[in-house]
Amino acid sequence: MDIKLVNRGSEGELFLTGRIDANNAEEMGALLLEVAQRFPNVTLNLRDLSYISSAGMLRIK
Amino acid sequence: MEKLTIKAKLENLNNVTEFVDSQLEQMELPMKTQMQIDLAVEEIFVNIAHYAYSPEDGMAIIEVELTEDPRVVITFIDSGKPFNPLANEDPDITQTADERKIGGLGIFMVKKSMDKVSYEYKDGHNVLTIEKKLEAITE
């Protein structure tokens, strides 16, 4: 999984690429939380995400 | 049929996926089919790792069979607490993430992506079997 954050002022856009599975979902979730605390609005760009399991979906929720 | 016996721990997920993928390598499957199988394997094995023996540890057996049709038949066996994952209602995916109850999404995804999913509790073991018709990439 690769993660890139683009700061657009009041919004952060997080680009997630690769795979999110049970092995890295927790790490991804922790990062999402951190980003959510920095920006009032967060956009997740999953365009280049090739795989996500329920573990990843739960963290996004 | 090939068989893997492994500790049902999350850290072994990659080993399990690699084992299954190695059995399917010869089929040169379309990426979508490969991903669906990987997803089903993950969802089932992670459930066993998290719940079957909790808080203790235990073993899981993964059997992979390629049939003539061709189909892949993958069986997951554990001797943990009796649990039929197919007995629960499917999550309501029309609800938003906030409205929807947690749980059940993994097995729902398995049911949607596999052609057949079956469960039995036999001789003290949970036995969950998934089947997927296979279609090799055509040149």
Residue ranges and CATH numbers for the domains of chain B are: 2-133 (3.30.565.10)
In b/e form, how buried is each residue of B12-35, taking b as 16+ CB within 10 angstroms?
A: bbeebbebbeebbeebebeeebbe
Residue length, chain B?
139
B133 compared with B99, residue with greater pLDDT? B133
User: What pLDDT is attached to residue A60?
Assistant: 78
> For residues B98 and A37, what is the distance between their CA atoms, to the nearest angstrom?
19
Does the CB of B13 have a partner CB in chain A at under 8 Å? yes
The string of pLDDT tens digits covering residues A15-52 is 999 999 999 999 999 999 999 999 999 999 999 999 99
Catalogue all structural domains in chain A, each as residue range(s) with its CATH number. 2-60 (3.30.750.24)
What element of type H or E holds A30? helix A25-38
- In this complex, the residue of B38, B98, B106 whose CB is nearest that of residue A54 is B106
User: Under an 8 A CB cutoff, do A61 and B97 touch?
Assistant: yes
Closest-approach residue (CA) in chain A for B106 = A54
Average pLDDT over residues B26-44: 93
Question: Does the CB of A51 have a partner CB in chain B at under 8 Å?
Answer: yes
Q: Are B81 and B52 in contact (CB under 8 A)?
A: yes
Q: What is the ipTM of this complex?
A: 0.83
pLDDT digit string, tens, across residues B71-125: 999 999 999 999 999 998 777 766 666 666 666 788 999 999 999 999 999 999 9
Quickly tell me which residue has 């739960």 as its tokens. A58
Shortest CA gap A51–chain B (Å): 7
Residues of A with CB below 8 A from B43's CB?
Answer: 53-54
* Burial degree of B130 (CB within 10 A; 0-12, 13-18, 19+): buried
Instruction: Kindly list the distances between the CA atom of residue B94 and the CA atoms of B86, B91, B99, in Å, as whole numbers in the listed order.
Output: 20, 9, 9
Cβ of B35 within 8 Å of Cβ of A53? The answer is no
Contacts of B126 (CB under 8 A, 6+ apart): B48, B52, B76, B77, B78, B79, B80, B82, B83, B84, B119
